[in-house]
Chain A
C-alpha cells in the first residue's frame, strides 16, 4: 500500500508506505553506495537517484477517497538518495570544500528540476548522520523528499514568517540576522555571506542554524560566490561538531527553502539550514520523547549562548 491519509484531528498528512517496511535496518557488509555495491557498478562523482524504498512515487497508485472523515490522496512525489561522494569513509566534515560546492549545485538542480512537476509542493533536502538518528548507511549521503503537500512544520514556519512580515513589513530572518551580527554571542562562525549560530530559540542542545545574510528564499538564488561560502560554512560547522567531543557527531541536517510551484512566500521566507544534533554531552542523547513528540514543545537542557561559546571555541582549519 502507498497512499497518504489526512488526520482530521491535527490537519496533517500521514504517508502510509508498505514499501519502506522492506528497507534494511542493518545493512550487510557491502555498502550499496560504493562501486560494486547494489546501486553502482561504475565509478561516479555525485549522484541523486530514486530511492529503492520510496514513500512517495511519481506513479503512485490512484486512490479513491469517498469518506469525508477519512480523506486520502495519492502519495505522488519523489524520494531520492543524494550521494555526496564516492569516498565511503568521508563525511561533510572531511570532504573538500570543492566537493561540498558540487553538492550544493546538485541540490540546486534537484530543487529546480523537481519544481517542474506541477503536483510537487515542497522539496525537502536533508541528511541523517549517525545511527542515533536512524541513518542506515555510513557512506556520505543525504536524501530528498518532493512532497505533494506542505508538511506541518513547514506550514508553521510559513505562517509565522508571513505573520511577522504583516506586522513589521520585513522578513523575520533578515531581522534576526541583523540582530545576531550586532549581538555576536550566539554566532559560531561567520563569513561574508553567511552566519552559523546557535539560535535564541534552539530546541536541541547543540542546534546550529545557517542563515544567508542576504534575503533569498532558496539555494538556487545564491550566486556562485555565495555557494562557495556556504560550502565553507557547512564544512566548518560539521568539523566543529566532530571536534567538539572528538567523535563523529550525529545530526539531522535540514534545508528549509520556500515551497515550489508557489511564489507567495518569496518575500517573507528566508532560506536556512538547521542542524539538529541529538547529543547533549559526549555520551548522552537528547531523545525526542513524549513531550517533544506529543506537544511539539521542546525542553532544551543547554543554554544556547553556552553551546555557542563551546562551538565557537572549537578551532578548525578554515
Chain B
C-alpha cells in the first residue's frame, strides 16, 4: 500500500486507488478500501489489534490551506506557508487540553482537526466516534492521520471514514457537511431560536436581582429562551445555587412566567480542585499515569480536573444532575468546557477519550430528552447528533482586536471570523451559535459598524441569536428591530463565497428575498449589505381547523392595511 499523493490538486483515479490495501503497523493491521463517490473518493479504514496514531496517507502541501481546530473556541482559518505556528509557552499549562486533544503534538506543530481544505479540494473525516482524525502539516507535506490512542480491537472493526473531494472549496464545504451529517444520522429536530444570556454583560458578577431586572425589561423583545450563565453555582462540579440565587425551581419558574424557556449554563465534565466531588470522589476523575487526577486545564484561578464519564457512579451522578435540572423546570442547557470529557488519561473503561466523551454526552441527551442542548468548548465531530446547537468560535467580547492572539481567547473579531469560516455547519450538523450579540451602546468598546456586522452576519447566516446586555442600558433597538423583522420570515438558505481570500460574500435567501452581505476587510471592518426589497409583502395567518387540518392563509399586507 502506497501512502503518498504527489499533488492532490491533480488527482487521478490511479493515484487514489493505489492508497487502498493492507498493511501491518506496530501492534496491529490496517485495511483501506477506496470507493468513487460524487465529487471525489471515500476512504474506508478497518483495523485489528492495538492501534496507536497511524498515518493513512500523505500528500504534497498546497501553499494556502484552510485549517480547523478540534473544539468550539479554536480557530478555523486560512494559513500560508509562512504561518509561524507555535503555541505561547506561558499559556500551555493554562490551556491544557482546551487547545487540543493531543496537546503534546499541537503545541509545536500545525495540525488541522477533522478536515482541511484548499481552494480546489477538501479532505475530511466523516465522523469521530472512536478515534481522532486529523492532519499533521509541515511546510512540504500533509499527513492524514487517525489517532486511536492504543485501543485494542479484537476483531476487524471499521473506524472513521475520510473523503477526498475536488472542486471549489466554497461549495465543497456544505457538501462535505452534509456527508458528515448523513454518516452520523443527524436529524435536526430542534428549532433555531432567539434569546438572552447573562454572560457578556455580567460575567461572574450576576445575581438574582439582576436576572429579575432584565426579565422585567425584556418584554416585547421577542426572546424564546432566557439563560443564566456561569455565576449561579457553588463551584465547578457542585451544581447547586450559591448564596446569590434562590432554588433552581424558583429561577426556572420566574423565567417561565415571562413566557421564556428557562436556560442554564454548566460545565458537566469539569471538576474544580476545590469542589466536593474532587474531595469526596477522586475515583470519578480521569487519572494520569501515576493514578493522580489529571489537570485538564486551569480556569477560575483553579486546577480543573475531568470527570471520568465511563465510571458507573460518575455516570449515575451525571444522569441525576441533568434529570434534576430538567425537573426543576429548565428546558435549555448550555453545556460548556466539554473538551474536558475527552482528555487523554486513565479511566474506568479501557476506551479512547473520544468514546468516553460520547458516553458522557449520551447520558446528558437521554436525561434531558427533547430539551435544547447547546455544546460549548466542545470537540466538534464527536458531538454531532448529541447537541442541537454548537458554539463555533471563541468567546465574543465588548472589544474588537484583530492584533490579539488567535488562540481562542475572548475577542469579538476572532469570534466573528469563525462565524464566517464555520458557516457551512449551520442547519446541517446543528444550529451554529455565533456567540452573543452585544447591542448596548455603553459599557462597550464596540462601535456601530462592528456591532452591526456581528448582528447581520449572525442573522443572515441563520444562526442562533442571543443577546447579552443589561437591558437597562441604552441599546441599539433599531438594529434589534430590523433583525427581528427579517428573522420573522423563518428559515433561510445560505451560501458563502470567499473563504480562502477572506472577502466573504454571504447570500441569504428567505421568503422575503435574497439579501447579501459583502465583507471587504474584516479587520476594520468594511462591509456592505444589500437588502432585497420586497415587491409583494404577504402576511401569513395559520388556522387550525377542528378536524385537525392546518390552513395557511396568505394575504397582501397593503390590502390589510
A residues in contact (CB < 8 Å) with B: 44-50, 52, 80, 98, 101-102, 105-106, 108-110, 112-113, 115-116, 118-119, 162, 165-166, 169, 218, 220-225, 227-228, 261-264, 266-268
Contacts and interface: CB of A to CB of B under 8 A. Distances in A.
A220 B428 CA distance: 18
B178 A118 contact: no
26 contacts: A44-B553, A44-B555, A49-B549, A49-B552, A50-B548, A50-B550, A98-B536, A102-B536, A105-B538, A108-B511, A109-B490, A115-B491, A118-B188, A162-B38, A218-B493, A220-B509, A221-B493, A223-B532, A224-B513, A224-B532, A227-B513, A262-B178, A262-B182, A263-B178, A266-B174, A268-B38
B534 interface: yes
Contacts of B187: 118-119, 261
A46 B555 contact: yes
A267 B167 contact: yes
A193 B374 CA distance: 42
Given A112-B490, A112-B511, A49 B550 contact: yes
Given A224-B533, A224-B534, A113 B550 contact: no
Interface in B4-42: 38-39
B179 interface: yes
A118 to B, nearest CB: 4
A98 B187 CA distance: 38
B553 A45 contact: yes
A266 to B, nearest CB: 6
B480 interface: no
Contacts, number: 120
B175 interface: yes
Contact of B554 (A109, A267, A268): A109
Interface string B180-202: 00100001110100000000000
A304 B174 CA distance: 38
A46 B553 contact: yes
Nearest to B428: A263
A118 B511 contact: no
A101 B537 CA distance: 10
A266 B171 contact: yes
Given A106-B552, A263-B174, A264-B175, 6 more contacts: A80-B552, A118-B188, A165-B39, A220-B509, A222-B514, A224-B532
A109 B533 contact: no
Contacts of A106: 538, 552, 554
A78 B197 CA distance: 37
B253 to A, nearest CB: 30
B535 interface: yes
A113 B491 CA distance: 7
B175 A224 contact: no
A50 B549 contact: yes
A47 B171 contact: no
B66 to A, nearest CB: 18
Given A112-B510, A169-B167, A45 B174 contact: no
A227 B535 contact: yes
Contacts of B507: 221
A48 B538 CA distance: 13
A57 B532 CA distance: 35
Contacts of A45: 553-556, 559
A102 B555 CA distance: 8
Contacts of B559: 45
B300 interface: no
B554 A105 contact: yes
Nearest to B168: A267
